[in-house]
Chain A
Amino acid sequence: MTRIVFVIFSLATGVATYAGVAGIGGEDKQIANSIRSGSGGRVGYIGGVK
Protein backbone atom coordinates (compact mmCIF):
# COMPACT_ATOMS: atom_id res chain seq x y z
CA MET A 1 0.00 0.00 0.00
CA THR A 2 2.84 2.37 0.88
CA ARG A 3 4.42 1.82 -2.52
CA ILE A 4 1.14 2.54 -4.29
CA VAL A 5 0.63 5.79 -2.37
CA PHE A 6 4.24 6.81 -3.02
CA VAL A 7 3.78 6.21 -6.75
CA ILE A 8 0.52 8.21 -6.79
CA PHE A 9 2.10 11.08 -4.85
CA SER A 10 5.12 11.03 -7.19
CA LEU A 11 2.83 11.27 -10.19
CA ALA A 12 0.85 14.10 -8.58
CA THR A 13 4.07 15.99 -7.84
CA GLY A 14 5.24 15.44 -11.41
CA VAL A 15 1.96 16.67 -12.87
CA ALA A 16 1.94 19.74 -10.58
CA THR A 17 5.55 20.51 -11.52
CA TYR A 18 4.79 20.19 -15.23
CA ALA A 19 1.65 22.31 -14.89
CA GLY A 20 3.67 24.95 -13.06
CA VAL A 21 6.45 24.99 -15.66
CA ALA A 22 4.02 25.03 -18.59
CA GLY A 23 1.89 27.65 -16.85
CA ILE A 24 -1.28 25.63 -17.30
CA GLY A 25 -4.25 27.54 -16.01
CA GLY A 26 -2.26 30.73 -15.56
CA GLU A 27 -3.41 32.47 -18.73
CA ASP A 28 -5.52 35.58 -18.54
CA LYS A 29 -8.96 34.46 -19.73
CA GLN A 30 -9.63 37.54 -21.82
CA ILE A 31 -6.37 37.26 -23.73
CA ALA A 32 -6.68 33.49 -24.13
CA ASN A 33 -10.20 33.84 -25.52
CA SER A 34 -9.10 36.64 -27.80
CA ILE A 35 -6.19 34.57 -29.13
CA ARG A 36 -8.45 31.53 -29.57
CA SER A 37 -11.12 33.51 -31.39
CA GLY A 38 -8.50 34.53 -33.92
CA SER A 39 -10.22 37.82 -34.52
CA GLY A 40 -8.32 39.74 -31.93
CA GLY A 41 -11.68 41.00 -30.79
CA ARG A 42 -12.18 42.19 -27.25
CA VAL A 43 -14.29 39.74 -25.33
CA GLY A 44 -14.76 41.28 -21.94
CA TYR A 45 -13.40 43.24 -19.05
CA ILE A 46 -10.96 42.07 -16.41
CA GLY A 47 -12.46 42.67 -13.03
CA GLY A 48 -14.16 45.93 -12.13
CA VAL A 49 -13.02 49.42 -11.48
CA LYS A 50 -14.48 51.97 -9.07
Chain B
Amino acid sequence: MIEGLRYGWTNYQLYSPTHGYSWLTWTDGHLTHSRKTRDMPETGGHFAYKAPLNAAGRSFQMFEQYAARITYLEGELTWVPNLGDTTNVIEAIDPPYGYSVVIGGSETEFELTSYLDRAQTLAAFDVPDTFARASTVHGIQPFLPGAFHTALSKAGKWFAPLALFLGLAFLVTGAGNKITETLIMDTDRGGSVVFPLNRPDRLAEVRLTANVYNSWSWYDMELIHEESEETVAEFDGGIEYYEGRDSDGQWSEGSQTATFRFKPPAAGAYRLTIQTGDPQSARLPVRVEVRENVMLARYLFGLAIFFALCALSLWFRRARFEARRWGEDEDDDDD
Protein backbone atom coordinates (compact mmCIF):
# COMPACT_ATOMS: atom_id res chain seq x y z
CA MET B 1 0.00 0.00 0.00
CA ILE B 2 1.67 3.23 -1.19
CA GLU B 3 0.01 6.60 -0.66
CA GLY B 4 -3.37 4.97 -0.37
CA LEU B 5 -2.97 2.91 -3.55
CA ARG B 6 -2.70 -0.86 -3.56
CA TYR B 7 0.02 -2.54 -5.60
CA GLY B 8 0.65 -6.24 -5.94
CA TRP B 9 3.67 -8.41 -6.53
CA THR B 10 4.64 -12.03 -6.19
CA ASN B 11 7.67 -13.33 -4.30
CA TYR B 12 9.11 -16.75 -5.10
CA GLN B 13 11.52 -18.18 -2.60
CA LEU B 14 14.61 -19.74 -4.17
CA TYR B 15 17.16 -22.07 -2.69
CA SER B 16 20.72 -22.77 -3.73
CA PRO B 17 22.93 -25.23 -1.85
CA THR B 18 25.86 -22.87 -2.31
CA HIS B 19 24.15 -19.48 -2.01
CA GLY B 20 21.28 -20.18 0.36
CA TYR B 21 17.87 -18.63 0.18
CA SER B 22 16.84 -15.69 -1.94
CA TRP B 23 13.71 -14.28 -3.53
CA LEU B 24 12.60 -13.77 -7.08
CA THR B 25 9.98 -11.04 -7.39
CA TRP B 26 7.58 -10.46 -10.26
CA THR B 27 6.13 -6.95 -10.36
CA ASP B 28 4.12 -5.74 -13.35
CA GLY B 29 6.32 -7.56 -15.84
CA HIS B 30 9.59 -6.81 -14.04
CA LEU B 31 11.78 -9.41 -12.38
CA THR B 32 14.11 -8.68 -9.48
CA HIS B 33 16.25 -10.84 -7.25
CA SER B 34 16.63 -10.14 -3.52
CA ARG B 35 18.58 -11.62 -0.69
CA LYS B 36 18.94 -10.74 2.94
CA THR B 37 22.06 -8.87 3.86
CA ARG B 38 23.85 -7.97 7.04
CA ASP B 39 25.06 -4.72 5.51
CA MET B 40 23.11 -2.24 7.54
CA PRO B 41 22.61 1.34 6.41
CA GLU B 42 25.18 3.84 7.66
CA THR B 43 22.50 6.32 8.64
CA GLY B 44 18.78 6.63 8.64
CA GLY B 45 15.90 4.80 10.13
CA HIS B 46 13.19 7.01 8.75
CA PHE B 47 12.14 7.67 5.19
CA ALA B 48 12.90 10.92 3.36
CA TYR B 49 12.13 11.10 -0.35
CA LYS B 50 15.31 11.01 -2.48
CA ALA B 51 17.50 11.31 0.60
CA PRO B 52 20.82 9.45 0.41
CA LEU B 53 21.17 6.06 2.04
CA ASN B 54 24.58 4.45 2.09
CA ALA B 55 24.69 0.71 2.54
CA ALA B 56 26.44 -2.35 1.18
CA GLY B 57 29.14 -0.15 -0.28
CA ARG B 58 26.72 1.70 -2.53
CA SER B 59 25.08 5.12 -2.45
CA PHE B 60 21.34 4.63 -2.68
CA GLN B 61 18.57 7.18 -2.86
CA MET B 62 15.44 6.63 -0.84
CA PHE B 63 12.67 5.79 -3.26
CA GLU B 64 9.48 4.90 -1.43
CA GLN B 65 8.04 3.46 1.72
CA TYR B 66 5.00 1.26 2.00
CA ALA B 67 3.23 -1.32 4.09
CA ALA B 68 3.62 -4.84 2.66
CA ARG B 69 0.84 -7.27 3.53
CA ILE B 70 0.66 -10.96 2.65
CA THR B 71 -2.51 -11.67 0.66
CA TYR B 72 -1.66 -15.12 -0.72
CA LEU B 73 0.52 -17.99 0.44
CA GLU B 74 1.57 -21.25 -1.14
CA GLY B 75 4.34 -23.80 -0.63
CA GLU B 76 7.05 -24.27 1.96
CA LEU B 77 8.93 -21.32 3.31
CA THR B 78 11.76 -20.75 5.73
CA TRP B 79 9.55 -18.99 8.22
CA VAL B 80 5.95 -19.22 9.35
CA PRO B 81 4.00 -16.49 7.61
CA ASN B 82 0.33 -15.77 8.04
CA LEU B 83 -2.10 -14.11 5.71
CA GLY B 84 -2.40 -10.50 6.69
CA ASP B 85 1.11 -10.27 8.15
CA THR B 86 2.29 -6.74 7.56
CA THR B 87 5.72 -5.16 7.46
CA ASN B 88 6.78 -1.59 6.79
CA VAL B 89 9.30 -1.28 3.99
CA ILE B 90 11.64 1.53 3.08
CA GLU B 91 13.14 1.12 -0.39
CA ALA B 92 16.20 2.88 -1.71
CA ILE B 93 17.59 2.61 -5.22
CA ASP B 94 20.84 2.76 -7.12
CA PRO B 95 19.83 1.14 -10.43
CA PRO B 96 20.19 -1.68 -11.17
CA TYR B 97 20.40 -2.29 -7.42
CA GLY B 98 18.01 -1.66 -4.61
CA TYR B 99 18.18 -1.77 -0.84
CA SER B 100 15.23 -2.37 1.44
CA VAL B 101 14.73 -1.94 5.12
CA VAL B 102 11.94 -4.29 6.16
CA ILE B 103 10.55 -3.41 9.56
CA GLY B 104 8.43 -6.12 11.14
CA GLY B 105 6.78 -6.36 14.53
CA SER B 106 9.77 -7.90 16.27
CA GLU B 107 12.69 -7.52 13.90
CA THR B 108 14.16 -5.39 11.12
CA GLU B 109 15.74 -7.03 8.10
CA PHE B 110 17.78 -5.65 5.24
CA GLU B 111 17.60 -6.79 1.64
CA LEU B 112 19.77 -6.21 -1.37
CA THR B 113 17.95 -6.40 -4.70
CA SER B 114 19.15 -6.48 -8.27
CA TYR B 115 17.17 -5.99 -11.46
CA LEU B 116 17.06 -9.02 -13.74
CA ASP B 117 16.88 -9.33 -17.48
CA ARG B 118 13.40 -10.72 -17.95
CA ALA B 119 14.04 -12.77 -21.10
CA GLN B 120 17.19 -14.38 -19.71
CA THR B 121 15.62 -15.14 -16.34
CA LEU B 122 12.44 -16.69 -17.73
CA ALA B 123 14.53 -18.71 -20.16
CA ALA B 124 16.72 -19.92 -17.28
CA PHE B 125 13.60 -21.23 -15.53
CA ASP B 126 12.33 -22.62 -18.84
CA VAL B 127 9.22 -20.45 -18.66
CA PRO B 128 7.90 -19.20 -22.01
CA ASP B 129 7.50 -15.42 -21.97
CA THR B 130 3.81 -15.09 -22.78
CA PHE B 131 3.22 -12.37 -20.19
CA ALA B 132 2.27 -8.79 -20.87
CA ARG B 133 5.03 -6.25 -21.31
CA ALA B 134 5.90 -4.07 -18.36
CA SER B 135 3.82 -0.92 -18.46
CA THR B 136 5.84 0.95 -15.86
CA VAL B 137 9.47 1.75 -15.11
CA HIS B 138 10.64 -0.25 -12.11
CA GLY B 139 12.42 1.56 -9.33
CA ILE B 140 15.72 -0.20 -10.00
CA GLN B 141 15.31 -0.73 -13.73
CA PRO B 142 18.48 0.45 -15.49
CA PHE B 143 18.20 2.83 -18.42
CA LEU B 144 19.26 0.76 -21.41
CA PRO B 145 18.93 2.69 -24.66
CA GLY B 146 18.69 0.73 -27.88
CA ALA B 147 21.53 0.50 -30.38
CA PHE B 148 19.80 2.91 -32.75
CA HIS B 149 19.36 5.69 -30.20
CA THR B 150 22.89 5.20 -28.89
CA ALA B 151 24.28 5.45 -32.42
CA LEU B 152 22.10 8.48 -33.17
CA SER B 153 23.34 10.26 -30.07
CA LYS B 154 26.97 9.35 -30.68
CA ALA B 155 26.89 10.48 -34.31
CA GLY B 156 24.99 13.63 -33.36
CA LYS B 157 27.77 14.61 -30.95
CA TRP B 158 30.30 14.48 -33.79
CA PHE B 159 28.25 15.90 -36.60
CA ALA B 160 26.47 18.78 -34.81
CA PRO B 161 29.73 20.73 -34.26
CA LEU B 162 30.90 19.82 -37.77
CA ALA B 163 27.71 21.11 -39.40
CA LEU B 164 27.78 24.20 -37.18
CA PHE B 165 31.40 24.88 -38.12
CA LEU B 166 30.69 24.45 -41.83
CA GLY B 167 27.57 26.63 -41.51
CA LEU B 168 29.57 29.38 -39.81
CA ALA B 169 32.28 29.06 -42.47
CA PHE B 170 29.61 29.49 -45.14
CA LEU B 171 28.17 32.44 -43.27
CA VAL B 172 31.57 34.14 -43.16
CA THR B 173 32.70 33.30 -46.69
CA GLY B 174 29.32 32.79 -48.37
CA ALA B 175 28.71 36.46 -49.10
CA GLY B 176 30.59 35.80 -52.33
CA ASN B 177 32.77 38.11 -54.40
CA LYS B 178 31.71 41.64 -55.05
CA ILE B 179 31.65 42.11 -58.83
CA THR B 180 30.57 45.69 -58.98
CA GLU B 181 28.92 48.47 -57.03
CA THR B 182 27.29 51.63 -58.28
CA LEU B 183 25.04 54.41 -57.09
CA ILE B 184 22.01 55.42 -59.12
CA MET B 185 21.06 58.95 -58.15
CA ASP B 186 17.92 59.47 -60.22
CA THR B 187 15.81 56.36 -60.25
CA ASP B 188 13.03 58.10 -62.22
CA ARG B 189 15.39 58.44 -65.11
CA GLY B 190 16.82 55.04 -64.31
CA GLY B 191 20.28 53.65 -64.54
CA SER B 192 22.15 50.50 -65.37
CA VAL B 193 25.21 48.57 -64.36
CA VAL B 194 27.19 46.08 -66.45
CA PHE B 195 28.98 43.18 -64.80
CA PRO B 196 30.44 39.81 -65.71
CA LEU B 197 29.07 36.59 -64.25
CA ASN B 198 31.38 33.63 -64.70
CA ARG B 199 29.70 30.92 -62.62
CA PRO B 200 26.24 29.98 -63.90
CA ASP B 201 26.23 27.07 -61.45
CA ARG B 202 26.49 29.41 -58.49
CA LEU B 203 24.22 32.03 -57.00
CA ALA B 204 24.62 35.66 -57.97
CA GLU B 205 23.10 38.43 -55.90
CA VAL B 206 21.81 41.92 -56.54
CA ARG B 207 21.61 44.01 -53.39
CA LEU B 208 19.81 47.34 -53.36
CA THR B 209 20.31 49.80 -50.53
CA ALA B 210 18.40 53.05 -50.15
CA ASN B 211 18.04 55.35 -47.20
CA VAL B 212 14.26 54.97 -46.92
CA TYR B 213 12.84 56.03 -43.58
CA ASN B 214 9.20 55.50 -42.69
CA SER B 215 8.58 55.08 -46.39
CA TRP B 216 9.10 52.67 -49.26
CA SER B 217 10.56 52.61 -52.69
CA TRP B 218 9.77 50.26 -55.52
CA TYR B 219 11.95 49.40 -58.49
CA ASP B 220 11.48 47.75 -61.86
CA MET B 221 14.57 45.84 -62.94
CA GLU B 222 15.67 44.13 -66.09
CA LEU B 223 18.56 41.72 -66.51
CA ILE B 224 19.94 41.75 -70.04
CA HIS B 225 22.53 39.46 -71.57
CA GLU B 226 25.00 41.94 -73.07
CA GLU B 227 26.18 39.90 -76.03
CA SER B 228 22.79 38.81 -77.31
CA GLU B 229 20.96 41.91 -76.05
CA GLU B 230 18.27 39.52 -74.86
CA THR B 231 16.29 40.24 -71.74
CA VAL B 232 16.97 37.35 -69.44
CA ALA B 233 14.62 38.38 -66.65
CA GLU B 234 12.34 41.18 -65.63
CA PHE B 235 11.56 41.57 -61.99
CA ASP B 236 10.60 44.14 -59.43
CA GLY B 237 10.95 44.63 -55.74
CA GLY B 238 10.92 47.16 -53.00
CA ILE B 239 12.69 48.46 -49.97
CA GLU B 240 10.66 49.52 -46.96
CA TYR B 241 11.64 50.67 -43.54
CA TYR B 242 9.55 52.01 -40.66
CA GLU B 243 10.31 52.79 -37.09
CA GLY B 244 8.62 54.50 -34.19
CA ARG B 245 7.80 54.34 -30.54
CA ASP B 246 4.69 53.11 -28.79
CA SER B 247 3.67 51.92 -25.34
CA ASP B 248 5.95 48.88 -25.74
CA GLY B 249 8.95 51.06 -26.58
CA GLN B 250 10.96 51.50 -29.76
CA TRP B 251 10.01 49.41 -32.77
CA SER B 252 11.21 49.04 -36.32
CA GLU B 253 10.03 47.10 -39.31
CA GLY B 254 11.55 46.27 -42.66
CA SER B 255 15.03 47.02 -43.89
CA GLN B 256 16.86 49.57 -45.98
CA THR B 257 18.28 46.74 -48.07
CA ALA B 258 16.65 44.33 -50.49
CA THR B 259 18.40 41.29 -51.90
CA PHE B 260 17.61 39.37 -55.09
CA ARG B 261 19.42 36.12 -55.82
CA PHE B 262 19.51 34.25 -59.10
CA LYS B 263 21.50 31.84 -61.19
CA PRO B 264 22.62 33.33 -64.50
CA PRO B 265 21.53 31.14 -67.41
CA ALA B 266 25.04 31.34 -68.92
CA ALA B 267 28.43 32.88 -68.22
CA GLY B 268 29.01 36.27 -69.71
CA ALA B 269 28.42 39.97 -69.27
CA TYR B 270 25.04 41.15 -68.04
CA ARG B 271 23.42 44.54 -67.72
CA LEU B 272 21.00 45.33 -64.94
CA THR B 273 18.70 48.27 -65.51
CA ILE B 274 16.81 49.77 -62.63
CA GLN B 275 14.06 52.37 -62.52
CA THR B 276 11.40 53.61 -60.13
CA GLY B 277 8.54 51.17 -60.45
CA ASP B 278 5.68 52.93 -58.72
CA PRO B 279 4.57 56.56 -58.98
CA GLN B 280 4.11 56.74 -55.19
CA SER B 281 7.53 55.30 -54.49
CA ALA B 282 10.04 57.37 -52.52
CA ARG B 283 12.74 58.88 -54.75
CA LEU B 284 16.10 58.28 -53.21
CA PRO B 285 19.52 57.35 -54.54
CA VAL B 286 19.91 53.60 -54.58
CA ARG B 287 23.15 51.72 -54.23
CA VAL B 288 23.36 48.61 -56.40
CA GLU B 289 25.83 45.90 -55.48
CA VAL B 290 26.33 42.71 -57.48
CA ARG B 291 27.95 39.64 -55.98
CA GLU B 292 28.83 36.25 -57.37
CA ASN B 293 29.55 32.88 -55.79
CA VAL B 294 27.09 33.40 -52.98
CA MET B 295 26.72 30.37 -50.69
CA LEU B 296 23.90 29.42 -48.34
CA ALA B 297 24.49 28.41 -44.74
CA ARG B 298 20.86 27.62 -43.97
CA TYR B 299 21.04 23.89 -44.80
CA LEU B 300 24.06 23.35 -42.60
CA PHE B 301 22.52 25.29 -39.73
CA GLY B 302 19.33 23.26 -40.10
CA LEU B 303 21.38 20.09 -40.10
CA ALA B 304 23.36 21.30 -37.06
CA ILE B 305 20.09 21.73 -35.16
CA PHE B 306 18.94 18.26 -36.24
CA PHE B 307 22.26 16.69 -35.24
CA ALA B 308 22.18 18.51 -31.90
CA LEU B 309 18.70 17.14 -31.24
CA CYS B 310 20.00 13.67 -32.11
CA ALA B 311 22.89 14.17 -29.68
CA LEU B 312 20.51 15.28 -26.97
CA SER B 313 17.90 12.63 -27.71
CA LEU B 314 19.52 10.17 -25.33
CA TRP B 315 19.57 12.77 -22.59
CA PHE B 316 15.87 13.50 -23.18
CA ARG B 317 15.05 9.79 -23.16
CA ARG B 318 17.00 9.27 -19.97
CA ALA B 319 15.31 12.28 -18.33
CA ARG B 320 11.91 10.95 -19.31
CA PHE B 321 12.83 7.48 -18.10
CA GLU B 322 13.95 8.87 -14.75
CA ALA B 323 10.78 10.96 -14.48
CA ARG B 324 8.74 7.82 -15.02
CA ARG B 325 10.84 5.91 -12.51
CA TRP B 326 10.16 8.55 -9.88
CA GLY B 327 6.54 8.94 -10.89
CA GLU B 328 7.15 12.54 -11.94
CA ASP B 329 5.99 12.07 -15.51
CA GLU B 330 2.41 13.01 -16.40
CA ASP B 331 2.40 10.73 -19.44
CA ASP B 332 3.03 7.28 -18.04
CA ASP B 333 1.15 5.15 -20.50
CA ASP B 334 3.80 3.86 -22.90
CA ASP B 335 7.24 2.34 -22.66
Interface residues of A in 3-44 (CB under 8 A from B): 4-6, 9-10, 12-13, 15-17, 19-28, 30-32, 34-35, 40-42
Whether B154 is near chain A, meaning CB under 8 Å from some CB there, is: yes
Q: How large is the interface on A (under 10, 10 to 19, 20 to 34, 35 or more residues)?
A: 35 or more
- Give CA–CA (A22, B96) in the complex, Å: 52
Instruction: Enumerate chain B residues within 8 angstroms of A30, measured Cβ to Cβ.
Output: 235-237
How far apart are the CA atoms of A7 and B222 in the complex, in Å? Answer: 45
**Complex partner residue of B202 from A9, A16, A22, A40, CB under 8 angstroms:** A22
A40 to chain B, nearest CB (A): 3
Question: When chains A and B are docked, how far (Å) is the Cα of A10 from the Cα of B155?
Answer: 9
The verdict on A42 contacting B152 (CB below 8 Å), with A13-B162, A23-B294 known, is no
A29 CB, nearest partner CB in chain B, Å: 10
Q: How many residues of B contact A (CB 8 A)?
A: 52
Contact (Cβ within 8 A) B262 A28: yes
Given A31-B233, A40-B231, check contact A49 B261 (CB 8 Å): no
A-B contact count (CB 8 A): 129
Question: For the complex, is B284 an interface residue (Cβ under 8 Å from A)?
Answer: no
Contact (A23, B295) CB under 8 Å given A9-B307, A28-B262: yes
Whether B154 and A46, one on each chain, are in contact in the complex, defined by CB atoms closer than 8 angstroms, is: no
B56 CB within 8 Å of chain A: no
Contact with B260, one of A19, A20, A24, A28 (Cβ below 8 angstroms):
A28
Are B261 and A20 in contact, with the CB atoms below 8 A? no
* Complex interface: chain B residues within 8 A of A42 (CB): 220, 234-236
Asked if A25 and B232 sit within 8 Å, CB to CB, the answer is no
- B112-155 to A contact mask, C-beta < 8 Å, 1/0: 00000000000000000000000000000000000110111011
B111 adjacent to chain A (CB < 8 Å): no
- Contact for B238 among A19, A27, A49, CB less than 8 A: A49
State the B residues within 8 Å of A (CB): 147-148, 150-152, 154-156, 158-159, 162-163, 166-167, 170, 174, 201-203, 216, 218, 220, 222-223, 230-238, 240, 242, 258, 260-263, 265, 278, 294-300, 302-303, 307
